[in-house]
């Protein structure tokens, strides 16, 4: 038995005064027939959504029946609105589900991290397939609830670390199975580009006094988060660096750097996290630079290993001798295996064995698998999963543990020191504050119901 969201009663006070009513029932998951198009709703069409919606614009397979954004009618949403003139438009995802529940098969969620959870939980409770941008959610507990709900409702789920359907995925899998990648004991992963989580400096708190844009529904933007006044430091796009709303650089890029490492090396969650460097530590925003060490126990025939994560513009990892003293120009990682050292960048980009002359020699000898077949990309993979024709490559059962790894790293960035984590109980053994952060602040009044779906 699952929980179904009833149609919402819109009060005279309008959207701001309405509420979701929860009733017991069974949400029926619908897998679209081979000759049918998927009726899709897209939530969050500005910023990253403006690009992502293009990837799902496949008219031969998808009908975009609804588009939703809290700033609908602004310059940020104009391009997508013009692209789908026949789609119904909404500012509030709750109203969209109320009015179009029976017309939607699948939902794409491309909103700030803190709002992934309520939208996704509502969609799954209604039996909708869901594609969610990375990371799955902001807190460890929310991710657990999302994984449980996905299994309970039987919907197709996919996280938006799209490189997990690219060359790096198939190469890493094949090289691991062939014994090329083996006995990895250490990884250095780094993201040193200047992005929106860096510019604030030593803030003293949330800024106040800015006027909410006329097109903006600020209450829906806040969602489950505690109330803060509108600020351009939060929106547009700047929410990522704040603890209350985002997951910083690590939550953003870790999903693209560590996905194949976490999956194919069967890491699970770390048993210890140590903040080796925190530059610009602040109670409101993520550090300006950080180095976090993650220790993992042995797994089957794989040895114990650790990962050092580096972020911050000038916070660079040590370079292996095999790198040959070259400059690091892109975010990436060094993987130290038993026989070889590998270098990779992010997303779908494949690994290289360094020095490259060694890789060229192995290729010439025919010792490196090279043919990975023809495969659907991340977006088509989700579309076909909605038809029951493929399994998604990062369902919540796979992307959930990766997202929880990211959330633990965010807690380390916030608290500092060394944190001991019990992988069986999913609790810290030496910090009550860290355990509180696994759950996070209680949801804002009126948004509690999503934690019971």
- What is the reported pLDDT for 432? 98
- What is the reported pLDDT for 7? 36
pLDDT at residue 21 greater than cutoff 60 = no
In whole angstroms, how far apart are CA 21 and each of 2, 13, 447, 449?
Answer: 14, 17, 11, 8
pLDDT at residue 27 greater than cutoff 80 = no
Correct CATH for 2-164 of 1.10.10.10, 3.30.70.3400, 3.40.50.720, 3.10.129.10: 3.40.50.720
Q: Report the 10 Å Cβ neighbour count for 314.
A: 8
Within the chain, what is the greatest distance between any pair of CA atoms?
74
pLDDT, one tens digit per residue, over 375-402 is 999 999 999 999 999 999 999 999 999 9
What mean pLDDT is predicted for residues 353-357? 97
pLDDT, one tens digit per residue, over 157-192 is 999 999 999 999 999 999 999 999 999 999 999 999
Beta bridge partners of 273: 294, 419
- Give the pLDDT band (50/70/90) at residue 201: confident
pLDDT, one tens digit per residue, over 37-65 is 999 999 999 988 999 999 999 999 999 99
* SS3 state of residue 79: helix
For domain 167-375+400-439, the question of CATH label 3.90.930 is answered with no
Of all residues in the chain, the percent with pLDDT exceeding 70 is 93
In whole angstroms, how far apart are CA 369 and each of 181, 350, 361, 393?
Answer: 12, 12, 13, 20
- Give the pLDDT band (50/70/90) at residue 18: very low
* SS3 state of residue 151: helix
Q: CATH topology of 2-164 equal to that of 167-375+400-439?
A: no
Query: From the centroid of its chain, how far is CA 306?
Result: 22
Domain ranges of the chain: 2-164, 167-375+400-439
- Do 236 and 261 touch, CB atoms closer than 8 A? no
pLDDT at residue 73 greater than cutoff 60 = yes
What mean pLDDT is predicted for residues 243-261? 96
Sign of CA dihedral 163, 169, 170, 175: positive
Closest listed residue to residue 386, CA positions, set 159, 201, 176, 158: 158
Tokens of 430: 């030496």
- What is the reported pLDDT for 28? 62
Q: How far apart are alpha carbons 155 and 392 in whole angstroms?
A: 11
């Amino acid at each position: 038995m699952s929980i179904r969201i009833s149609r919402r009663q819109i009060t005279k006070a309008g959207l701001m005064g309405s509420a979701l009513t929860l009733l017991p029932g069974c949400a029926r998951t619908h897998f679209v027939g081979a000759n049918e198009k998927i009726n899709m709703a897209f939530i969050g069409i500005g910023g990253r959504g403006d690009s992502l919606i293009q990837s799902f614009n496949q008219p031969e397979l998808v009908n975009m029946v609804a588009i939703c954004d809290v700033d609908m009618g602004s310059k940020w949403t104009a391009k997508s609105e013009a692209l789908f003139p026949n789609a119904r438009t909404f500012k509030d995802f709750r109203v969209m589900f109320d009015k179009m529940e029976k017309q939607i098969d699948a939902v794409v969620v491309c909103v700030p991290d803190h709002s992934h959870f309520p939208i996704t939980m509502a969609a799954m409770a209604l039996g909708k397939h869901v594609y969610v941008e990375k990371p799955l959610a902001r807190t460890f507990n929310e991710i657990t609830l999302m994984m449980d709900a996905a299994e309970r409702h039987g919907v197709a789920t996919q996280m938006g670390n799209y490189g997990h359907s690219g060359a790096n995925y198939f190469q890493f899998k094949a090289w691991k199975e062939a014994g090329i990648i083996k006995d990895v004991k250490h990884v250095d992963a780094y993201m040193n580009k200047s992005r929106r989580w860096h510019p604030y400096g030593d803030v003293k708190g949330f800024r106040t006094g800015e006027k909410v844009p006329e097109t903006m529904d600020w209450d829906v933007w806040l969602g489950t988060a505690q109330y803060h006044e509108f600020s351009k430091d939060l929106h547009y796009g700047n929410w990522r660096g704040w603890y209350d709303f985002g997951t910083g650089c690590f939550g953003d890029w870790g999903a693209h750097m560590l996905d194949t490492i976490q999956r194919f090396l069967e890491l699970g969650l770390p048993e210890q996290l140590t903040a080796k460097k925190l530059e610009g530590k602040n109670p409101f925003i993520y550090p300006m630079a950080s180095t976090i060490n993650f220790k993992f126990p042995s797994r089957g025939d794989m040895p114990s290993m650790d990962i050092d994560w580096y972020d911050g513009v000038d916070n660079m990892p040590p370079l292996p001798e095999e790198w040959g003293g070259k400059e690091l120009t892109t975010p990436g990682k060094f993987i130290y295996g038993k026989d070889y050292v590998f270098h990779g960048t992010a997303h779908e980009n494949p690994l290289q064995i360094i020095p490259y002359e060694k890789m060229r020699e192995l290729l010439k000898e025919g010792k490196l698998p090279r043919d990975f077949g023809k495969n659907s990309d991340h977006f088509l993979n989700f579309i076909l999963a909605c038809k029951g024709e493929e399994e998604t490559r990062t369902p919540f059962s796979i992307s959930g543990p990766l997202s929880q790894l990211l959330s633990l790293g965010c807690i380390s960035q916030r608290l500092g020191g060394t944190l001991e984590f019990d992988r069986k109980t999913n609790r810290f053994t030496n910090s009550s504050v860290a355990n509180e952060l696994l759950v996070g602040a209680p949801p804002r009044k009126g948004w509690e119901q999503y934690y019971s779906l």
